[in-house]
């Protein structure tokens, strides 16, 4: 009976981890499953509690930090508007400080020149310096 209680607690904690995403409930859930295994093998309550306690401490102190480092490691992945900055576009209608249009990422965007004195002609390749709302702020070199 104790093994079933530990098993249900472990599964519920693992399911609750989906909502939190912090790996704490995952570690405690795995420790509860270890205690369920202990209860199934040796039905002595203090042994089950000891297995749960030791497993929890080891998992929280050693495994969780390593798992978090691994999950958070790597380069920041640019998405949405952030991914467009630095990209190339082609001018569709003359771009100046007041407006124009460019083709960026297969879509037509409103655009304005990064340098207010610059007038960029149709067909010219430009670099996206910023996205301001729904307007691409572009720069043509040279």
Look at residue 142 in the predicted model and tell me its pLDDT: 67
Span of 3-17, 33-47, 74-88 with lowest mean pLDDT: 74-88
Whether 102 and 51 share a structural domain: no
Look at residue 22 in the predicted model and tell me its pLDDT: 86
pLDDT tens, 105-139? 899 999 999 999 999 999 999 999 999 999 999 99
pLDDT at 38 over 80: yes
Which residues are CB-contacts of 21 (< 8 A; sequence separation ≥ 6)?
A: none
Containing structural domain, residue 132: 80-139
The domain total for the chain is 2
Span of 27-36, 38-47, 79-88, 93-102 with lowest mean pLDDT: 79-88
Whether 67 and 111 share a structural domain: no
Whether 31 and 55 share a structural domain: yes
Whether 21 and 67 share a structural domain: yes
Whether 84 and 66 share a structural domain: no
Whether 87 and 68 share a structural domain: no
Give the CATH number for residue 99: 2.40.50.140
pLDDT tens, 81-113? 888 899 999 999 999 999 999 999 899 999 999
Whether 87 and 42 share a structural domain: no
Mean residue pLDDT of the chain comes to 91
Q: What is the mean pLDDT of residues 43-61?
A: 95
How many Cα neighbours within 13 Å face the side chain of 52?
A: 20
């Amino acid at each position: 009976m104790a093994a079933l209680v530990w098993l249900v607690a472990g599964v519920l904690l693992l399911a609750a981890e989906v909502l939190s995403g912090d790996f704490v409930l995952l570690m405690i859930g795995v420790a509860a499953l270890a205690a369920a295994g202990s209860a199934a093998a040796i039905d002595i309550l203090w042994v089950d509690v000891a297995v749960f306690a030791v497993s929890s401490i080891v998992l929280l102190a050693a495994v969780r930090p390593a798992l978090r480092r691994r999950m958070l490691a790597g380069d920041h992945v640019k998405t949405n508007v952030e991914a467009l900055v630095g990209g190339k576009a082609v001018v569709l209608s003359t771009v100046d400080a007041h407006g124009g249009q460019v083709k960026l990422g297969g879509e037509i965007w409103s655009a304005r020149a990064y340098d207010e004195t610059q007038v960029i002609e149709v067909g010219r390749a430009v670099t996206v310096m910023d996205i301001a709302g729904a307007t691409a702020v572009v720069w043509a070199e040279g």
